[in-house]
Amino acid sequence: MTYIDLNYQPRESDLLVWFYAEPPAGKDMKYVADRIAEESSIGTWTDLKTLLPDIWEKLRARVYEIDSSRGYVKIAYPLHLFEVENMPAILASVAGNVFGMKSVENLRVLDIRFPRELLDRYPGPRYGVEGVRELAGVYDRPFLGTIIKPKIGLPAKMHAEVAYEAWVGGLDIVKDDENLASQDFNRFEDRLSLTLEKKDLAEEETGEKKIYLVNITAPYKEMIRRAELVEDSGNEFVMIDVVIAGFSAVQSYREEGFRMAIHAHRAMHAAITRNPRHGITMLTLAKVYRVLGVDNLHIGTAVGKMEGSAEEISSIREEIQLQKVPPKEERFEQEWFGMNPVLAVASGGLHPGHVPAVVDILGKDIVIQAGGGVHGHPDGTRVGARAMREALEAKMQGIPLEEYAKEHEALRKALEKFLK
């Protein structure tokens, strides 16, 4: 039996997966395509007496396109194959055992097309871009944020003081780093209460709404306990390391019904996404997280210290923010049928000198986060935050940074340090 049916026209209800695949020595693309479809749907390595004809016809995957020159395989999966409201189980099929087979040399999921029948079963982001703008009171520009640095080591009181300096300097958002949890020198409860006190003070002094993204990542029961503390405190956001926490935890957390927006940090993603010949693209993961309901998602910067081209990062932004995403090389057309868009987050090695490029590449619906680029300013955190705000002001007014810096000392000193 073969799973290849090049005359098959995918149905609107099919879940589609676009693979890049390399066959092992001595085998061709038809061989590897058959093995992928077999393993990821209803088959195994040998003929089965238990694979009844009606099961075969109803549930088998169908390879409907093979491009041997580029290593592309497109497979359609009937939605009946899956427990539709169980994203972990869906991924266990289409992106699970297939990666470990000897019958593929390399394998990469380039994209997934989710059908409306599946999307209608998921709530998606509670707030999305417009909802987050309402929460933050920021409407006509990108958001500016920072990550407390050093990422680990500050006691809770000093953490709160650094957050305050960033907020009064002009930033909208302060975020915990991905590995700050509840260490003995900075307990979660202490950090939450002290930082929110400083947040209130910064709002009173600046007249602007301020946002604190507190990291609740932990084993699930503890993560929920921390979320309850955040909700009781009145804070509007939580942060979850979504790749590390796992698809099940993210889906379950969203279904708990908390009112806080979810800021999704993608730590560990590159272990899955970075190899261009094996793994799963960040584009695919971003689509999964939109379905699962995050409100903010780190997508890369195209500049700064993180890997990823401008074209790749722009494609990810489109995928999480548009309602109908046009097809491109290695990308399906995807319609989202009204599911809220996700606010994109650029973070990793950024400083004020990067602000114009980030806005040019990713637009206004973006959070521009600078950690070292704020706290590494020669005059400290508050002035570093002011330099970020001045850089954004210059960009929004169409003024080159070097010209704006002539009359704005914080920006001038930042550019002298970071662009030398």
My answer on whether 67 and 101 are in the same domain is yes
Q: Is 413 a catalytic residue?
A: no
My answer on whether 185 and 311 are in the same domain is yes
Report the share of the chain in percent with pLDDT over 70: 97
Check residue 175 and give its pLDDT: 98
Check residue 288 and give its pLDDT: 98
Is the pLDDT assigned to residue 296 strictly greater than 90? yes
Measured over all CA atoms, what is the biggest interatomic distance in the chain, rounded to whole angstroms? Answer: 80
Mean pLDDT of 306-324: 90
Mean pLDDT of 175-180: 96
Residue 1 lies in a domain: no
The per-residue pLDDT for range 185-218, each reduced to its tens digit, is 999 999 999 999 999 999 999 999 999 999 999 9
The encoded tokens of residue 286 equal: 């971003």
CATH of the domain at 96: 3.30.70.150
Residue 135 lies in a domain: yes
Domain-ending residue, one of 119, 154, 179: 119
Is the pLDDT assigned to residue 55 strictly greater than 80? no
pLDDT band at 52 (very low <50, low <70, confident <90, very high): low
Task: Round the average pLDDT of the chain to a whole number and report it.
Answer: 95
My answer on whether 135 and 200 are in the same domain is yes
pLDDT band at 56 (very low <50, low <70, confident <90, very high): confident
My answer on whether 259 and 338 are in the same domain is yes
The DSSP secondary structure of 37-94, one letter per residue, reads: HHHTTT--SS--TT--HHHHHHH--EEEEEETTTTEEEEEE-GGGS-TT-HHHHHHHH
The per-residue pLDDT for range 230-263, each reduced to its tens digit, is 999 999 999 999 999 999 999 999 999 999 999 9
Mean pLDDT of 135-147: 96
Mean pLDDT of 300-312: 77
Report the share of the chain in percent with pLDDT over 90: 91
Exactly one of 149, 269, 354, 377 is catalytic; name it: 149
Residue 7 lies in a domain: no
Residue 10 lies in a domain: no
d(CA 44, CA 51): 10
Q: Is 265 a catalytic residue?
A: yes
d(CA 105, CA 100): 9
Alpha helices in 207-296 (DSSP H): 220-233, 242-245, 247-255, 269-273, 282-292
My answer on whether 303 and 159 are in the same domain is yes
Check residue 58 and give its pLDDT: 78
Report DSSP state, residue 327.
P
My answer on whether 87 and 170 are in the same domain is no
**Of the candidate ranges 31-40, 126-135, 307-316, the one whose mean pLDDT is the lowest:** 307-316
Q: List the domain range (segments joined by +) for residue 149.
A: 128-418
Residue 158 zone, left/alpha/beta (φ > 0; ψ -120 to 50; rest): alpha
What are the phi and psi torsion angles at 370 (to 5°)? -125, 125
Q: Total structural domains in the chain?
A: 2
Mean pLDDT of 310-333: 95
Residue 5 lies in a domain: no
CATH of the domain at 203: 3.20.20.110
My answer on whether 253 and 311 are in the same domain is yes
My answer on whether 136 and 113 are in the same domain is no
Domain-ending residue, one of 72, 102, 119: 119
Exactly one of 74, 159, 263, 265 is catalytic; name it: 265
Check residue 307 and give its pLDDT: 65
Check residue 71 and give its pLDDT: 97
Q: Positive or negative CA dihedral for 361, 150, 263, 110?
A: positive
My answer on whether 162 and 305 are in the same domain is yes
Mean pLDDT of 321-338: 96
Check residue 287 and give its pLDDT: 98
State the pTM of this model. Answer: 0.96
pLDDT band at 54 (very low <50, low <70, confident <90, very high): confident
Residue 9 lies in a domain: no
Helix (H) or strand (E) holding 29: helix 29-39
Is the pLDDT assigned to residue 51 strictly greater than 80? no
My answer on whether 74 and 98 are in the same domain is yes
Nearest residue to 344 via CA among 166, 140, 132: 132
Check residue 304 and give its pLDDT: 60
Mean pLDDT of 131-155: 96
